Amino acid sequence: MGSGEDWITIMKTFSESARCISIDLPGHGKSTLHGMKSATEEPCLSLEIVAEILHKIIHHVAPEKVTLVGYSMGARIALYMALRFSSKIKGAVLISASPGLKDKLARKIRAAKDDSRARSVIAHGLQLFLSSCLRSHPHFNRIISTRLQHNDIQNLAQMLSGLSIGRHPPLWDDLPNCRVPLLIIHGEKDKKFKKIAEAMMNTICSGLRSKVEEVNDVHEVVEIPNCGHAAHLENPLPVIEALRQFMSKL
């Protein structure tokens, strides 16, 4: 639930060598949804819809191929775009990414949980919701100050529900066919996403080995020390270095 402002430090580093554009996803930062349904109705957002919107924006602002960088939900969308719009994507950097939930029942349970979260945001406000989610985070005060910039609770609730990982099609089966180079980043202390990153690489390898390709020349996993889920905010310098090395190969 961040915004484009979260990326300012990283964007400044690369601004002299690359054109950097940050986009607020629907329900994030200053992005708004028009003609949306209420949070109690069936969600009008989906991963596919958001990815298509971003694809159109990229075509409008960048005639050449681009490198995507996304965090958490943004990373999941970036992975989807790398798989579906590979002709436009030069590389994708996925920070704390998941290709989705393989189990159908797990997806159903997660979607219901996120629907409940959306209703809670409407009923009790954003600050209470964020406090319950982020209170144990070591950078709680700094992170929550940016998250509270969401100016439309209805938009945020729609995003929580419609873009729930429980409603996303799992992308695991597509990974062996991914030909867009991926940089998969996770925080040292984020044990859950470390396991997911390793599983992603193993799944990708199953496709590459059959074609006698060098896996590490195409995709790589990088662990960022002394941080958890939000590696780009908690320890940006190693993230910047990983980005620099990855982009030099593209």
**What type of residue is 16?**
E
pLDDT at site 140: 42
pLDDT at site 56: 95
Q: Tokens 């873009």 map to which residue?
A: 163
Q: Are residues 108 and 222 in the same domain?
A: no
Assess if residue 80 is contained within a domain.
yes
Assess if residue 244 is contained within a domain.
no
Q: Are residues 178 and 199 in the same domain?
A: yes
Q: Are residues 96 and 106 in the same domain?
A: no
Assess if residue 49 is contained within a domain.
no
Q: Are residues 139 and 193 in the same domain?
A: no
CA dist list (Å): 88 to 6, 63, 185: 25, 9, 22
Assess if residue 50 is contained within a domain.
no
Q: Are residues 96 and 179 in the same domain?
A: yes
pLDDT at site 134: 46
Radius of gyration of the chain (CA): 18
Q: Are residues 74 and 178 in the same domain?
A: yes
Angle in degrees, CA 143, 100, 206, rounded to 5: 120
Residues 6+ apart with CB under 8 A from 228: 137, 138, 187, 189, 190, 234
pLDDT at site 5: 79
Q: Are residues 219 and 183 in the same domain?
A: yes
Q: Are residues 68 and 188 in the same domain?
A: yes
Angstrom distance (rounded) from CA 249 to CA 231: 22
Assess if residue 228 is contained within a domain.
yes
Q: Are residues 76 and 131 in the same domain?
A: no
Mean pLDDT by 10 residues, the chain (250 residues): 79 92 76 56 76 94 95 95 96 98 96 90 69 49 51 75 92 94 97 97 78 66 94 94 95
Q: What DSSP string describes the chain?
A: ---GGGGHHHHHHHTTTS-----PPTTSTT---SSPPPTTS-----HHHHHHHHHHHHHHH-SS-EEEEEETHHHHHHHHHHHH-TTTEEEEEEES-----S-HHHHHHHHHHHHHHHHHHHHH-HHHHHHHHHTT-TTHHHHHHHHTT---HHHHHHHHHHT-GGGSPP-GGGGGG--S-EEEEEETT-HHHHHHHHHHHHHHHHHHGGGT--GGGT-EEEEETT--S-HHHHSHHHHHHHHHHHHHH-
Q: pTM of the predicted model, to two decimals?
A: 0.86
Q: Are residues 96 and 111 in the same domain?
A: no
* Closest CA relative to residue 27, chosen from 166, 136, 122, 145: 122
Domain of 141 in residue numbering reads as 102-167
- Number of structural domains the chain divides into: 2
Q: Are residues 133 and 159 in the same domain?
A: yes
pLDDT at site 180: 95
Assess if residue 23 is contained within a domain.
no
Assess if residue 202 is contained within a domain.
yes
Among 134, 167, 200, give the residue marking a domain's end.
Answer: 167
pLDDT at site 1: 53
| CATH code for the domain in which residue 196 is found | 3.40.50.1820
Q: Are residues 204 and 147 in the same domain?
A: no
Assess if residue 189 is contained within a domain.
yes
